[in-house]
A and B are shown apart, each in its own frame.
Chain A
Amino acid sequence: MVPLLRRLVSLAAAALLAVAASAGQDPATAGQAIYRDGVRAGGKPLVASGAAGVTRRGPEAACIGCHRRSGFGIAEGQLVVRPITAPDIFGSPAAPAGNPRIEHQLGTRRRPVYDAVTLARAIRSGIDAEGHVMHPMMPRYDLDDDDMAALQAYLKTLYPAPDPGVDARTIRLATVIQPGVAPEKRRAMLEVLQAFVHDKNAAVRSEPARRSAGGMRMHRAWRSWVLDVWELEGAPDSWGAQLERFYRRAPVFALVAGIGSASWQPVHDFSERLQVPCILPLTSLPGDAPGFYTIYFSRGMALEAGAVARDLGRLPQGSRVLQAWRAGDPEGAAGARALQAALAGTGLRLEQRMLTGAPETPGWIASTGGDPAALVLWLRAPDLKGGAALSMPVYVSGTMLDGAAPPGANVQMAYPWELPRQRAARVRRSTDWLRARGLGTLAPQVAIDTRFAVEMTGEALAHLMDSFSRDYFVETVEHQVSGTLLASSYPPLTLGPDQRFASKGLYLTRSAASGGEPMAASALIVP
Chain B
Amino acid sequence: MKTYLACLVLAAGAASTGAVAQAAPGGAQLVRTLAEYRVPAVRLQRADGTEVRLADELDYAGPVALNFVFTTCSAICPIQSRVFAELQQKGGPGLRLLSISLDPLNDTPAQLRDYGRRFGAGNGWHFYTGTMDASSAAQRAFDVYRGNKMNHQPLVLLRSGAGRKWVRIEGYASADELLRELRAAPATAKNTVDPVGANTVPRQGAGQPRRATVEPGS
Interface residues of A (CB under 8 A from B): 2, 5-6, 9, 50-54, 56, 60, 64-66, 74-79, 81, 112-113, 115, 117-118, 121, 125-127, 129-137, 140, 479, 482-483, 492, 494, 496-499, 504-505, 523-524, 526-527
Contacts and interface: CB of A to CB of B under 8 A. Distances in A.
Contact of A52 (B70, B83, B150): B83
Contacts of B184: none
Nearest to A140: B21
A2 B153 CA distance: 45
Contacts of B131: 523-524
Nearest to B71: A496
17 contacts: A50-B79, A51-B172, A53-B175, A66-B74, A66-B75, A77-B146, A78-B153, A79-B76, A113-B3, A121-B7, A125-B15, A127-B14, A135-B27, A492-B105, A497-B73, A498-B72, A526-B108
Contacts of B76: 76-77, 79
B201 interface: no
A496 B104 CA distance: 12
B174 interface: yes
B14 A133 contact: yes
Given A74-B150, A137-B79, 12 more contacts: A6-B1, A50-B79, A52-B175, A60-B78, A78-B153, A127-B11, A129-B7, A131-B7, A131-B10, A133-B21, A494-B105, A496-B72
Contact of A78 (B1, B3, B72, B205): B205
A430 B76 CA distance: 35
Contact of A133 (B20, B78, B106, B148): B20
A5 B26 CA distance: 31
Given A132-B25, A135-B28, A494-B103, A479 B150 contact: yes
Contacts of B3: 112-113, 129
B5 interface: yes
Interface residues of B, number: 55
Nearest to B5: A5
Interface string B154-175: 1000000000000000001111
B11 A121 contact: yes
A137 B73 CA distance: 14
Contacts of A497: 72-74
The secondary-structure label for the interface of chain A is loop
Given A52-B173, A498-B72, A526-B105, A135 B11 contact: no
* Nearest 3 interchain pairs by C-beta: A131-B10, A53-B174, A51-B172
B106 A496 contact: yes
B34 to A, nearest CB: 21
A118 B7 contact: yes
A76 B152 contact: yes
A482 B23 CA distance: 38
B78 A56 contact: yes
A502 to B, nearest CB: 10
A118 B8 CA distance: 8
Nearest to A496: B72
Contacts of B9: 131
A136 B132 contact: no
A53 B9 CA distance: 28
B149 interface: yes
B82 interface: yes
A115 B11 CA distance: 14
Contacts of A483: 148
A76 B176 contact: no
A338 to B, nearest CB: 16
A278 to B, nearest CB: 20
Contacts of B108: 526-527
Contacts of B86: 54
Contact of A79 (B4, B25, B75): B75
A2 B5 contact: yes
Contact of A135 (B8, B24, B70, B175): B24
Nearest to A120: B11
Interface string B5-43: 111111101110000110111111000000000000000
B20 to A, nearest CB: 5
B192 interface: no
Contacts of A496: 70, 72-73, 103, 106, 149-150
B151 interface: yes
B174 A52 contact: yes
A90 to B, nearest CB: 13
A132 B108 CA distance: 42
A178 B17 CA distance: 64
A75 B103 CA distance: 17
Contacts of A526: 105, 108
Contact of A136 (B28, B103, B205): B28
Contacts of A504: 105-106
Nearest to A65: B74
Contacts of A78: 27, 153, 204-206
B132 A492 contact: yes
B148 A482 contact: yes
A52 B152 contact: no
B69 to A, nearest CB: 11
Contacts of B103: 494, 496
A486 to B, nearest CB: 16
Nearest to A479: B150
Among B21, B105, B173, the most chain A Cβ lie within 10 Å of the Cβ of: B105
Contact of B79 (A9, A54, A64, A134): A54
A13 B3 CA distance: 16
Nearest to A51: B172
Nearest to A50: B79
A494 B103 CA distance: 8
